[in-house]
């Protein structure tokens, strides 16, 4: 690709912020459209990362820009024309994208059901959860058509040599993997190559020609810890794409950076990548 990967120093710079457009779960952003005004300081900068994701980086918007933003959103999410529909049908191929969603042990896993609903409107979804994440996930809130796997399923499906191995089968099945939330513990495991549960075994076996996104969630002090920066650099070298956390009131009561990006933003980021990749012909998804 013609543009290089955004370095982590830019993602962490105080002069930039990842601004949620509130895109919702039903339609993604389109790469070709920009805010309808000429001020370069407030335009969206979308940079394709090698192999994987698209990150939208904007300076904090001024109040005067909100009118322009609303107008742009109305235009971007109006009903597509018949020509648009035909193009979408061609680009999505003969089947839906296959998205493997995974949750690790963060309180942000309470949003996992919402995340699954967002993706199931567009893609075929399977879900994986670590043992600690089950404390926060309401299984009854998951879409009925989403197959849900835990560590116990890894062993229940194998009895003898020649039987399928679940983490390998899920790795083969998925077009894209999304880990949201990614806890500090699971981040450290992935960075160190550890694989002691179903989720980390999938990551260890992952084909990095296919996209893998992570959306971290942890306390601000954990996010700012020097180990976190080292771990982020390690997974960046693997080709894993980061959807950065946001600043808000955290579960512990502190205010700061470390909250998982909203499910709608995670969904929009992944779908934007997938559909733009289909349009460019660079490794079709689905």
Residue 85: CA atoms inside 13 Å, Cβ hemisphere, count?
5
Residue with tokens 């779908």: 271
Q: What is the CA radius of gyration of the chain?
A: 19
Catalytic site includes residue 201: no
| Residue among 167, 195, 201, 231 flagged as catalytic | 167
Catalytic site includes residue 252: yes
Q: What angle do CA 185, 181, 274 make, to 5 degrees?
A: 125
Catalytically annotated residues: 167, 252
């Amino acid at each position: 690709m013609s543009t290089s990967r955004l370095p982590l120093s830019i993602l962490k710079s105080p002069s930039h912020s990842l601004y949620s457009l509130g895109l919702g779960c039903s339609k993604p952003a389109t790469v070709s459209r920009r805010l309808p005004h000429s001020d370069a300081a407030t335009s969206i900068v979308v940079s394709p990362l090698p192999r994987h994701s698209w990150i939208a980086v904007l300076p904090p918007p001024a109040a005067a820009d909100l009118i322009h933003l609303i107008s742009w959103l109305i235009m971007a999410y109006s009903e597509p024309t018949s020509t648009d529909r035909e193009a979408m049908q061609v680009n999505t191929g003969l089947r839906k994208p296959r998205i493997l969603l995974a949750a690790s042990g963060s309180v942000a896993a309470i949003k996992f059901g919402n995340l699954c609903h967002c993706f199931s409107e567009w893609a075929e979804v399977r879900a994986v959860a670590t043992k600690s994440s089950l404390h926060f996930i309401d299984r009854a809130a998951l879409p009925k058509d989403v197959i849900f796997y835990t560590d116990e399923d890894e062993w229940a499906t194998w009895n003898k040599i020649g039987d399928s191995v679940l983490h390998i089968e899920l790795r083969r099945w998925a077009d894209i993997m999304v880990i949201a939330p990614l806890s500090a513990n699971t981040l450290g495991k992935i960075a160190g190559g550890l694989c002691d549960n179903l989720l980390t075994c999938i990551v260890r076996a992952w084909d990095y020609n296919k996209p893998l996104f992570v959306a971290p969630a942890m306390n601000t002090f954990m996010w700012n810890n020097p180990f976190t920066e080292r771990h982020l650099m390690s997974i960046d070298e693997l080709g894993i794409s980061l959807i950065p956390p946001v600043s808000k009131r955290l579960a512990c009561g502190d205010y700061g950076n470390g909250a998982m990006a909203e499910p709608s933003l995670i969904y929009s980021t992944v779908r934007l990548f997938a559909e733009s990749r289909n349009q460019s012909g660079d490794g079709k998804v689905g």
